[in-house]
Amino acid sequence: MTVSNVKADDSGLSRADRFLFKIESAMTLLAGLCVLAIMLLAVANILGRKFFNMPVPGFIDWIVQAVPVVAFLGIAYCQRLGSHIRMDIVVRALHGRFLWAFELASIVLMGALTLILTIGSWTHAERALKLGDSTIDINLPTWPVKLLVPIMFTLLLLRLLLQTWGYWRALWSGAKSPVAVPLIEDIATVAAHEAETVSGAGDGS
């Protein structure tokens, strides 16, 4: 089981959270497989160049195309677990409804920005498709990767909507540990979770 600070119950919000998390986890797995493919491609390129004087054709093109895939496939997954880098010195000092109001405002602002980025990236992908944009070396079409960006931003928007729902419920009820939102943990707990992840103690075995 993945170490997580997201609470769950039998509510509709929690069920929706867990369903979306399955999709996010699958996207993150694809990102990991893409990293593995990059590593294998790099090894093939090095060995081919050294021993056969035959590097992988368009190696740089493939790497350039793979980087956005790795970067964006896990973006919603990280948001679900609260793993994105942020300055939380002030947030750690807040409690109760003050904390949930601050988190709700942050999520709403993030959602607005993500919506703008979704529209802009969709326009960019559509333009690449119409113009037949491709890479320089082996002419790989760029629109599939560019289309991936607004798709993953849309998945992130769904995650932000669920978290908005979760924080609003927490603000309304004053709950100490609401479901479907990443809860802030102290430094010792974060370190313990990281140790469990590295050691394999958090895998449910």
**Residues contacting residue 185 through CB under 8 Å, at least 6 positions apart:** 5, 193
Per-residue model confidence (pLDDT) at position 1: 33
Domain that includes residue 148, residue range: 12-80+88-199
Asked if the structure places residue 204 within a domain, the reply is no
Asked if the structure places residue 4 within a domain, the reply is no
Q: Comparing 117 with 176, which gets the higher pLDDT?
A: 117
Asked if the structure places residue 1 within a domain, the reply is no
Distance in angstroms (rounded) separating the CA atoms of residues 152 and 118: 9
Asked if the structure places residue 6 within a domain, the reply is no
Per-residue model confidence (pLDDT) at position 195: 73
CA 185 centroid distance within chain? 20
Distance in angstroms (rounded) separating the CA atoms of residues 194 and 202: 9
Distance in angstroms (rounded) separating the CA atoms of residues 167 and 31: 29
Asked if the structure places residue 5 within a domain, the reply is no
Asked if the structure places residue 115 within a domain, the reply is yes
How many domains would you assign to the chain? 1
pLDDT tens digits, residue range 38-72?
Answer: 999 999 999 999 999 999 999 999 999 999 999 99
Per-residue model confidence (pLDDT) at position 128: 96
What percent of the chain is modeled with pLDDT above 90?
Answer: 77
Distance in angstroms (rounded) separating the CA atoms of residues 156 and 79: 8
Torsion of CA 173, 106, 154, 169, to 10 degrees: 0
Asked if the structure places residue 170 within a domain, the reply is yes
Distance in angstroms (rounded) separating the CA atoms of residues 51 and 103: 56
Per-residue model confidence (pLDDT) at position 93: 79
**Residues contacting residue 11 through CB under 8 Å, at least 6 positions apart:** 179
Distance in angstroms (rounded) separating the CA atoms of residues 159 and 25: 13
Asked if the structure places residue 35 within a domain, the reply is yes
pLDDT tens digits, residue range 63-104?
Answer: 999 999 999 999 999 999 887 777 777 777 788 899 999 999
